[in-house]
Amino acid sequence: MPSTFLGLNTGMSGLGYYQATLNTTAHNISNADVKGYSRQVVNSQASYPIRVNSAYGMMGTGVEMTGIDQQRNVYYDTKYHAATSKYNEYEAVKEQLTQLQTYLNEMQSETGYTKLMAKISSAMQDLASSPADPTYRTQFNQAMKNFTDLIKETSVNYQNTQRDINNEVAIHVDTINSIASQIYTLNQQIMNIETRWGNANDLRDQREVLVDQLSELVNVTVTEVPIMYGYGGDATKSGASRYEVRIGSTVLVDEMECKQLKVAARQEKINQNDIDGLYDVYWEGLNGSLGEEFNFNSANVTGRIKGLLEVRDGNNFDPFSGTIESMTSTTTGEASSVVVSVKPGVSVDKLNLPQDGIITLNCKDYYYEGFEATVDADGLLTSFTFKNVTVPDDEGKRVPAQFDTSLDVGKEALMGERIDCQGIPYYMTQLNEFVRTFSNYMNDLFTSGADANGDAGLDYFTTPDVRGVDRVLTTRDTTTGDIIKPTEIKSSESNYYQITALNWSINESVMANQEKLVVSYKEDIEQHNKEAKGVLEKVIAGLSDRSMYAQGTPTQFLQSITTSQAVDISKFESFSKNMDEVSTVINKQRQSISSVDTNEEAAHLVMYQNGYNLSSKVISILNQVYDKLINQTGI
């Protein structure tokens, strides 16, 4: 037998339900423009009926609310995070490569290399018309200096970009740490509320916004599973869940811990023209120490940081590598050394090794100080001997390396990592190759003649040594006059490895005294033939010599660099655009579920208001019934 007041209680349940729906709708409308807010709905079901002892069976008792849930789709969130990470990686590469392209200052610029090469050619023609004219000699030197200054300025700008990228990486790592800490705090707050069967939807929205921000920097994997009380078949849900965010295979944050990342400046360089102190990223270890290195070069990692590091460290998948030929462990009075064979050999013009650095031998890192390389008959470097090889001991102090030749000989030697991007190290190597090849070609011509006083010609292109004195790069046999080709080079001695795009310059003696400029051969000077220009004619011909570079003339070599950059920019622009479209489509799909439609909510307001009014009407009518029953019956 139902209670006399069952109808009143039934009406009250409807009144409470519609009051909750109206409040929730108002909350949705208030947050319609809040970033990351997910629409909330009141879940309900018919309350448990009561049995009546009559033919019609069960009688309804009204409605009960089962919770207020967010409208989110985990599948779309996961897809969106993956697409956003990939888009930001491509966008970062495109942005940085576009900046690198502007440094060559090409197109119609008056300071672009095409214009400067044209001015050099014009200055050569003027000098050829009057080889002894000091004005034309000075003009020729100045045109060459302007060109070398452009190459040096470009290289400095490349280094500045590398420095800016390096600083941005450190900022993004701090951002990841900050986001992880905020997610950890929200995890604690949400668990606190939900273990008491509360509603933490708004805090969950804040957490999802943070994960969206995190996915722009690095790809993330989010896992959420219910936390159970008890074990096995007796386990019951606690009302809360375990929320875990991973970067790669490592947990960044969950309800128990919040890991942090750290950046540490390299003590050694990987590439010859790298700036000092490039950052590597590590997981933080105990007591703030460095833990395992975070490998952003992994195929499983995406995001803006990876894109930045690809440009900062990109070597076009072609680092220095070879086979360990022999290893000598330290003995009394001797230092450890390693000999690495390179097949095919590498040209000194393309050599990108730092003088002192780190080399990986059979997957283990070693430090070295200086190297020597043998030169084969074709002028290629085929065997490198790395000197003073050391390893850090347990206290971090470097000690002479001890090798197990039975394990290591014949295995790979590698400098850095293979990074499949034409980044700053790649283009710096290209510029180094340009200045070294051009200098070698031209110096051979200039040193074959004599200056205006009949003295032997000097290297026209060179670079200062540690004392500030220009290096002597070309030596000739005093009897035959033939150039003496080196059979080995040392990283600390004068050779074309020492010239880079950063220090390329014209011989100070020639710049200071135009009479030192070589335009003629010695026999012409001895015969007082002031109009002789045998050397200059060959120099002029060199500017159009297609055999100087594999790409052709000097101008064509530089054009190949800008063309390569344009192709890469176009490629990553296309990748970026595609992923942007993918992430936009996915975001629209998830917004179709979670975003607030104010028109829809307005319609809900009318519908819930009607329901509230009807529930009120039920209570009003039953109030009259009970008044009649209780107060007026029997009067």
Three-class DSSP labels, 216-245: HHCCCEEEEEEEEECCHHHCEEEEEEEEEE
Is the pLDDT reported for residue 343 higher than 60?
yes
Burial class (CB in 10 A: 0-12, 13-18, 19+), 45: exposed
- Section 622-628 average pLDDT: 88
Report the distance separating Cα 633 and Cα 612, nearest Å: 30
Q: Which two tokens stand for residue 579?
A: 């992923």
| Residue 440 maps to a domain | no
| Residue 418 maps to a domain | no
Helix (H, G, I), strand (E, B), or coil: what is residue 544?
Answer: coil
Look at the chain and report how many structural domains it folds into.
Answer: 1
Torsion of CA 97, 99, 103, 107, to 10 degrees: 90
Q: Which two tokens stand for residue 30?
A: 């208030």
Report the distance separating Cα 497 and Cα 479, nearest Å: 27
Q: Scan for tokens 């009960």, then name that residue.
A: 64
Report the distance separating Cα 282 and Cα 259, nearest Å: 11
- Section 589-595 average pLDDT: 95
| Residue 13 maps to a domain | yes
In terms of Cα–Cα distance, which of 98, 95, 146 is closest to 120? 146
Give the tens place of pLDDT for each residue, 402-453.
998 888 999 999 999 999 999 999 999 999 999 999 999 999 999 999 999 9
| Residue 63 maps to a domain | yes
Cβ atoms within 10 A of the Cβ of 402, count?
Answer: 11
In terms of Cα–Cα distance, which of 440, 442, 422 is closest to 430? 422
Residues 431, 499 contacting (CB under 8 angstroms): no
Residues 203, 193 contacting (CB under 8 angstroms): yes
Model pLDDT, residue 111: 74
User: Chain centroid to CA 145: how far?
Assistant: 35
Give residues with Cβ within 8 angstroms of 488, minimum separation 6: 372, 373, 374, 375
Residues 162, 100 contacting (CB under 8 angstroms): no
Residues 564, 475 contacting (CB under 8 angstroms): no
What's the one-letter identity of residue 187?
N
Give the tens place of pLDDT for each residue, 49-99.
888 766 667 888 999 999 999 999 999 999 999 999 999 999 999 999 999
Q: How confident is the model at residue 107 (pLDDT cuts 50, 70, 90)?
A: low
Domain that residue 22 falls in: 1-70+599-635
Residues 16, 623 contacting (CB under 8 angstroms): no
Q: Write down the mean pLDDT value for the chain.
A: 93
Is the pLDDT reported for residue 334 higher than 80?
no
Q: How far is CA 629 from CA 1, 10, 244, 620, 624, in A?
A: 18, 18, 60, 14, 9
Sheet of strand 290-293, all strands in order from the earlier edge strand to the far edge: 261-265, 279-284, 290-293
Give residues with Cβ within 8 angstroms of 560, minimum separation 6: 551
Report the predicted TM-score, pTM, of the whole model to 2 decimal places. Answer: 0.92
Is the pLDDT reported for residue 259 higher than 60?
yes
Burial class (CB in 10 A: 0-12, 13-18, 19+), 333: exposed
What's the one-letter identity of residue 17?
Y
| Residue 359 maps to a domain | no
Range with the lowest mean pLDDT among 26-30, 185-189, 396-400, 487-491? 396-400
Give residues with Cβ within 8 angstroms of 331, minimum separation 6: none
| Residue 152 maps to a domain | no
| Residue 251 maps to a domain | no
Q: Which two tokens stand for residue 29?
A: 């409308």
- Section 95-113 average pLDDT: 81
Query: Crossing angle of helices 113-129/534-542, nearest 10°?
Result: 160
| Residue 619 maps to a domain | yes
Model pLDDT, residue 448: 94
